[in-house]
Amino acid sequence: MSHPRGHTLLTTAIIITALAALAAGVVVWRLQARRPVEPDLPAAYRALENPLATDVSSRDNGMRLFMNKGCAACHGAHADGRGPAARGLNPAPADFTAGVILRDHSDAWLYWRITEGKHGTAMPRWDGVLETKERWEIVSFLRSLEGE
């Protein structure tokens, strides 16, 4: 009598273990899916997260900076890449309303681009021009354009 029962317990244990492993796999996969693959992002920036992500005022401050510190001249007042200084630039300034840039990139990546600029394009570096906090505020503003 004890044999079949032992087998049943063993089978149950194996099934539970398999399900737990599957669930753990799904969790890891989901966590990885949330962070886009960004081979160009320098190692020093990889672990960065926006310290102001939950600060509601950072988005408005970021918008003011975007309008007043020169971003809008190229990227446009609507962040669509059509600012008055965009004429003739190749590549054209990034259009943040198209959704692709924000969807495919982390806050750390946006922060890196703003901080160091983009080689071979008109995108200047803002390190030393805007404070660290101001650069994150602009990231908050850009992120808020997602889904609009």
Binding site for ligand HEC (CB under 6 A): 66, 69-71, 73-75, 85, 89, 91, 93-94, 101, 110, 113-114, 118, 121-124, 126, 138
Shortest Å, Cβ 53 to ligand HEC: 16
Annotate 92-119 with three-state secondary structure.
CCCCHHHCHHHHHCCHHHHHHHHHHCCC
Q: What is the CA radius of gyration of the chain?
A: 23
Shortest Å, Cβ 13 to ligand HEC: 51
Nearer to ligand HEC, 48 or 122 (CB): 122
Report CA-CA distances (Å) from 24 to 10, 33, 34, 35, 36.
21, 14, 16, 18, 20
d(C-alpha 142, C-alpha 71), whole Å: 11
Nearer to ligand HEC, 55 or 117 (CB): 117
Shortest Å, Cβ 12 to ligand HEC: 53
DSSP class of residue 86? G
Between CA 42 and CA 52, with CA 48 as vertex, the angle to 5 degrees is: 140
Shortest Å, Cβ 117 to ligand HEC: 8
Nearer to ligand HEC, 55 or 95 (CB): 95
Nearer to ligand HEC, 55 or 67 (CB): 67
